[in-house]
Amino acid sequence: MNKYPIAWFAVVMILGLFYSSVGFEWLVTFVLAVVLAKQIEILNKLNK
């Protein structure tokens, strides 16, 4: 799981934005988190 420290750092930053945002920004943040998670999933599959 520590293969992508930069990706996990980005997740932490997104979570920080999530807690400090409201309304439409919350939706954008949620979408970004989902997209990032999917990209990490794809990277994991490519590296196997």
Residue 13 resides in a domain: no
B/e letters for 8-38, b = 16+ CB within 10 Å, e = fewer, are eebbeeeeeeeeeeeeeeeeebeeebeeeee
Residue 12 lies in a domain: no
Name the token pair of 25: 């920004």
On whether residue 25 sits in a domain, the answer given is yes
Q: Based on the structure, what is the number of domains in the chain?
A: 1
Instruction: Identify the band that residue 42 occupies on the pLDDT scale cut at 50, 70 and 90.
Output: confident
pLDDT band at 4 (very low <50, low <70, confident <90, very high): low
User: Looking only at Cα atoms, what is the longest distance across the chain?
Assistant: 39
Query: Containing domain of residue 27, as a range?
Result: 19-48
Q: pTM for the whole thing?
A: 0.45
Q: Which amino acid is at 44?
A: N
